[in-house]
Structure 1
Amino acid sequence: MNPRSAALSRGCRPLTRADSGTKDRVANFVLVSRGRVGPRCTTTRFRERRCVCRRVLGKGGQSPMTVSTATFASGVRALEFVRSVDRRLLHRRALSEVFLTDTVAVDGQRFLAGAQLPSSHAYFTDHVGHTVVDPILLLECARQAETCGAHTHLGVDGDTKFVLQSWSMRLPGLFAAHSGDPAELTVEVTTDRPADATTPARSVTYGMRFLLSGEEAGEARMTVGYLSSGTYSFVRSKRRGSPPVSSDDVTTLPATVAPADLGRVNPVNALLVDPVRDGEGISAGVRIPNDNPSMFDHAQDHLPGMVLTEAARQAALLAGARLLGRPAHETTLVGFDLGFAKFAELDAPTTVDVVPEGENGAIRTFRTTFRQNGDEVASGTVETTAVPASHRSTR
């Protein structure tokens, strides 16, 4: 199997028993929202799911693969796309940041989620040079599906903390997917939570398949732990030696990289500070974007996984431009695989290091590492590719 096929296989395959060896890192989770936890559930229940995301990205011009959820969700009601779900189920303060419209249980382990993608958004559609659906927007919809589904279908209490251990995404159908205006997204979600579980969820792995206006875009996987508020506060203070800092008390500093160099227009969406050439790669600081209402919808006591993933994307785009001659406005994220070892604290400088690892066909892979005070807090890979002519614009 070539490296690209292997990468697709890792990102799209059903969860197997081999995955159950992932070590539990309760004290080192990166918070994505709020939940309750204990030992990690290692039971896997993805055998009925077949990966259908094997198409490799090319230069464009692919014929769309129209699919339906009939096999996955036979006999359940259709998803609705007429209103937003309760923002509190998504741990969101602003209604403008709520994209999920509905969820429907299929059985004890599976559910469907629907979302409407915004036609215009200050963060998610702020891209120069192309009209590709933002993969980070799809990731946010996946996060909202997980958060709402945990509360609605898995019995996770409202007074909890949701803690991200790892996530990955592969989008081989990104360019074939029809966006519409606005586009409707269906997410098929399969969990490894036992269907007959009677105890509160402690750690759950979610496999997600994206159908964008009925056409397959790709898949994502994430593992999330659940901690009671009291346990979370204890763990955070114990590991730090003091209570964590709130983002409300942190001074906002601007990025020093021009937004155009990151494929952006609005400076508030830029995250990188003082990038330098470091060996075969690039190293940059990561600012705390508490002036960005999408990245910090509400106060946080750390840099969330969504922000680190955005920083990883920007670092890869910058490295591609400066080291490989690939302009950011002609390049898009198409995949990533990131694990989170520690909380990214708000009172310590954060750096991201990216090194080009290799190229297979149209896909370029970058090794990505986040550090604070010399300690690794997150790491993994990011994949980018050139935007086909069919999706380029003059904006």
Structure 2
Amino acid sequence: MSAPTFHANRPSRSEQAPLQAGAGGTGTLLAQRAPRGAGVAKELVHRHNPAEVMLTGWERRGDDSFGLTATWPRQHRFFTGVNGCHDPLIAAETIRQVGSLLSHAEYEVPFGQQFVMWNLSVTTWPGSLAVRHSPADIDLDVVCHDVKRRGRALVGLRYEAVLRRDGEVVAHGGAALTCISPAAYRRLRAPRLDGAGPALDLAGPVAPHEVGRTSPADVVLSPTARQGRWLLRADTRHPVLFEHPVDHVPGMLLLEAARQATIATLGHTAPPAEVTGEFSRYAELHRPCVIDAHRLPKRGAEESVLVTGEQDGENVFRAIVTLPPSAG
């Protein structure tokens, strides 16, 4: 596994050129699949609850370029608004869903295949994420790169997405994933899961206000005796983070842990301007996972925190979360 790489410079919206299709991929050119409002089947984005499906339609524009649409609700059970803005992590979840949808619907990955996500990043401009009187309709321009196949079967790809609202860029990001057959996944996971036992008992949460939350049920960190260190708190009953049964800690929970650790470290709750995460191995539900946060040198008025997760002495993920200047 390659070492995580983090990019320190976040371009302005004026520097965001339209994405151009890459050269990879040999998929059959398909007609428009689902215009806005037609809906996206929940199975395509690995959700059980239709309310958690952010994507609403898609079309193929070229060999490896696509246009998608999404809708963000004015209020969400977990991705709650901050300072009158949509939660930037709802943009991250939307980007995550893009990979599942395109892999199944356009690259012909059969259901039952497992996806391994190696990284996920999102950059937003909170001023453009204001919650208005109606849900936010989002247009996405997506380009896939490094499309790898074994015969006709997709092995993996990475993709970039630009998200617009009323023609204005509100976020951009991307991810990389690989596809694993059910048999290969069983072989990969067996050494960790055989005889693993049940998930850990749920430890008590830190105070919600310390991590930008209002409900203890949404807190994913438990306190330790050391400042800047927590234990991961993975409540498998959570209706969004564990929306369906899985045998490991979901990546979106790890990104939420990074966000909460950053808020606790910096002491203010502004919506993140940037979240960049890389995942090096599965985080197991039955083993303690230690979360550490380290403040990074300032980048202008913005502040960034490096958050790492370690389990049994091995790194499972690293993330950098950047908050805009505190209003206070």
TM-score range (shorter-chain normalised) is: 0.7 to 0.9
> Helix, strand or coil: the match of 2:128?
coil
Deviation of 1:84 (Å): 2.8
Q: Alpha carbons of 1:255 and 1:206: their partners in 2 closer, same or farther (altered >3 Å)?
A: farther
Residue 258 (structure 1) aligns with: 207
Length, aligned pairs only:
312
* Residue identity matched to 1:253: L
Residue 286 (structure 2) aligns with: 347
Q: Alpha carbons of 1:86 and 1:192: their partners in 2 closer, same or farther (altered >3 Å)?
A: same
Q: Alpha carbons of 1:252 and 1:188: their partners in 2 closer, same or farther (altered >3 Å)?
A: farther
Stretches of 4+ aligned residues off by more than 6 angstroms: 76-79
Q: 1:267 aligns with which of 216, 221, 233?
A: 216
Q: Does 1:175 align with 2:177?
A: no
Cα distance in structure 1, aligned partners of 2:182 and 2:7: 41
Residue 301 (structure 1) aligns with: 247
Cα distance in structure 2, aligned partners of 1:5 and 1:157: 34
Q: Alpha carbons of 1:358 and 1:276: their partners in 2 closer, same or farther (altered >3 Å)?
A: farther
Q: % of aligned pairs identical?
A: 24
Cα distance in structure 2, aligned partners of 1:157 and 1:241: 24
Residue 369 (structure 1) aligns with: 308
Cα distance in structure 1, aligned partners of 2:232 and 2:260: 10
Q: Does 1:218 align with 2:171?
A: yes
Q: Alpha carbons of 1:210 and 1:358: their partners in 2 closer, same or farther (altered >3 Å)?
A: same
Q: 1:116 aligns with which of 29, 51, 71?
A: 71
Please say if residues 292 and 309 of structure 2, whose CA atoms lie closer than 8 Å, have aligned partners that are also in contact: yes
Q: Alpha carbons of 1:242 and 1:197: their partners in 2 closer, same or farther (altered >3 Å)?
A: closer
Residue 39 (structure 2) aligns with: 84
User: How much is the aligned-residue C-alpha RMSD, in angstroms?
Assistant: 3.0
* Residue identity matched to 2:282: F
Please say if residues 206 and 221 of structure 1, whose CA atoms lie closer than 8 Å, have aligned partners that are also in contact: yes
> Does 1 or 2 have the higher relative contact order (CA < 8 Å, sep 6+)?
1
Q: 2:194 aligns with which of 231, 242, 251?
A: 242
Deviation of 1:214 (Å): 2.6
- TM-score using structure 1 length: 0.72
Cα distance in structure 2, aligned partners of 1:244 and 1:45: 44
Please say if residues 166 and 222 of structure 1, whose CA atoms lie closer than 8 Å, have aligned partners that are also in contact: yes
Please say if residues 335 and 383 of structure 1, whose CA atoms lie closer than 8 Å, have aligned partners that are also in contact: yes
* Residue identity matched to 1:105: R
Cα distance in structure 1, aligned partners of 2:9 and 2:196: 36
Residue 26 (structure 2) aligns with: none
> Helix, strand or coil: the match of 2:264?
helix
Q: Which consecutive residues of structure 1, in runs of 5 or more, have no partner in the other structure?
A: 15-43, 48-75, 322-326, 390-395
* Residue identity matched to 1:374: G
Q: Does 1:385 align with 2:324?
A: yes
Q: 2:158 aligns with which of 183, 201, 205?
A: 205
Residue 285 (structure 1) aligns with: 231
> Helix, strand or coil: the match of 2:298?
strand
Q: Which consecutive residues of structure 2, in runs of 5 or more, have no partner in the other structure?
A: 1-5, 24-30
Please say if residues 111 and 190 of structure 1, whose CA atoms lie closer than 8 Å, have aligned partners that are also in contact: yes
Q: Does 1:107 align with 2:53?
A: no
Deviation of 1:339 (Å): 1.4
Please say if residues 366 and 381 of structure 1, whose CA atoms lie closer than 8 Å, have aligned partners that are also in contact: yes
Cα distance in structure 2, aligned partners of 1:5 and 1:340: 16
> Helix, strand or coil: the match of 1:142?
helix
Cα distance in structure 1, aligned partners of 2:49 and 2:186: 25
Cα distance in structure 1, aligned partners of 2:177 and 2:147: 15
